[in-house]
Amino acid sequence: MRMIRLNEEYLDRVLAGDLDLAPRDTAPCALALGSFDGLHRGHQALVAALLEAKDRDRLRASVLFTFRRHPRLVLGGAGGPFLLTTWRERLALLEQLGVDVLVAMDFSAALSRLDYRDFVKRFLVEWLGMTHFVAGHDVHLGKDRRGDAAALRELGARLGYSLDELPPTSWQGRVISSSAIRNALSAGDCAAASAMLGRPYAAWGEVSPGDGRGLTIGFPTANVQPLNPRKLLPAPGVYACRVQVPGDVATPGGDGLLRFVEESLPEIDRHGDVVSPGHGRWRLYGGMLNFGNVPTFHGDGLPLPRLEVHLFDFAGDLRGRTVKVEWLRRLRDERRFGGVDDLVVQLRHDEAQAREVVAATPFPGD
């Protein structure tokens, strides 16, 4: 997959008329456009239709046009954690789908004021050489979202491109959308979210020092801080999970390895600095996690919820390293216990349940 980057500074100069966009070597191409947050099954159907259109029409390239920053994060209306996939996560997922060219544009306020006809003509047709547009059922482009499928098809008759409008993808009578997945996660329904995504919901995070109490009661945990504070986490509670860790951290004494995982992106920390080059085998373990305010040990609870992950049958030092956490199923609410003994009894019960869930959950692609 080849990337074409258009940053905000360059884009604003183009929109102001100070720079011209020279045609790229992608013409003629089939193109699909969107934010693709989550890259869920509806998005995957759109990409599949894009690749089919390229082959059917014998075009030079399949082009996916997207934005590094979600438009709602630029224009407002996304209070609190919001993203289903960070830019890093989207890149890793897109690389697996077989698109020829990825156009990564910085969404800006100036771009939001551009009429859809100008946007399509200047950026999609003249710059990229689009001759076929693959649109989702809810497509709306340009200022005030006036560029719907009917308007874009009419525009195509003048500018020389054809258009396919895909029907919505559904699951159990629900239209699959990023909003529907956010709602499921906010309710703790990871099974529904995973079904709509086509894979378990996941977040990358850096392991930072915690209280160390888990080790003293037989349940050592990794305190995971998401790499992106805008990343949406499921509702507080106790969950069965899987955890992907760097391949070099495991030491003798743990035998809970589920499988090795190939990861194409380097390992980075919360500041974006590279921790290790990646591009190798990572190790996947089952586990359970608590996302909450830890009231048993912290009185009225921590002011901000904490993500604590216990890996099954793992030995190694994860401090300062980056892990990927996959939510599989919610087991129960977080609650306060009368003492450590009561907590340990419940944790043993949670572990038994979580191990069953991990064993029963298929791996993507299997």
User: How many percent of the chain have pLDDT more than 70?
Assistant: 95
Q: What is the pLDDT of residue 79?
A: 63
Q: Are residues 235 and 143 part of one domain?
A: no
Q: Are residues 232 and 350 part of one domain?
A: yes
3-state secondary structure labels for all residues of 178-189: HHHHHHHHHCCC
- Tens-place pLDDT, residues 267-301: 888 877 878 765 568 999 999 999 987 776 667 76
pLDDT at position 103 over 90: yes
- Farthest CA pair distance, the chain: 74
pTM for the model: 0.91
pLDDT at position 75 over 80: no
Domain that holds residue 242: 200-360
Q: What is the pLDDT of residue 290?
A: 92
| Nearest 10 degrees: Cα torsion 212, 213, 218, 222 | -40
Q: Are residues 221 and 135 part of one domain?
A: no
- Tens-place pLDDT, residues 194-212: 999 999 999 999 999 877 7
Least confident of 141-145, 168-172, 232-236, 327-331: 141-145
Q: Are residues 225 and 271 part of one domain?
A: yes
- Amino acid letter, 185: L
pLDDT at position 82 over 80: yes
Q: Are residues 319 and 218 part of one domain?
A: yes
Which CATH number fits the domain that encloses residue 75? 3.40.50.620
Q: Are residues 139 and 28 part of one domain?
A: yes
Q: Are residues 159 and 69 part of one domain?
A: yes
Domain annotation covers residue 365: no
Q: What is the pLDDT of residue 281?
A: 80
Q: Are residues 35 and 72 part of one domain?
A: yes
Work out the mean pLDDT of the chain and round it to a whole number: 90
Mean pLDDT of 76-80: 63
Out of 171, 190, 225, a domain closes at 171
Of the candidates 106, 120, 123, the one whose C-alpha atom is nearest the C-alpha of residue 149 is: 120
- Can you tell me the distance from the alpha carbon of 149 to that of 295, in angstroms, rounded to the nearest whole number? 51
Domain annotation covers residue 110: yes
Q: What single DSSP character describes residue 266?
A: P
pLDDT bracket for residue 232 (50, 70, 90)? very high
Q: Are residues 11 and 75 part of one domain?
A: yes
Domain annotation covers residue 190: no
Q: What is the pLDDT of residue 77?
A: 60
Domain annotation covers residue 75: yes
pLDDT at position 2 over 90: yes
- Tens-place pLDDT, residues 141-166: 988 888 999 999 999 999 999 999 99
Q: Are residues 217 and 288 part of one domain?
A: yes
Q: Are residues 235 and 147 part of one domain?
A: no
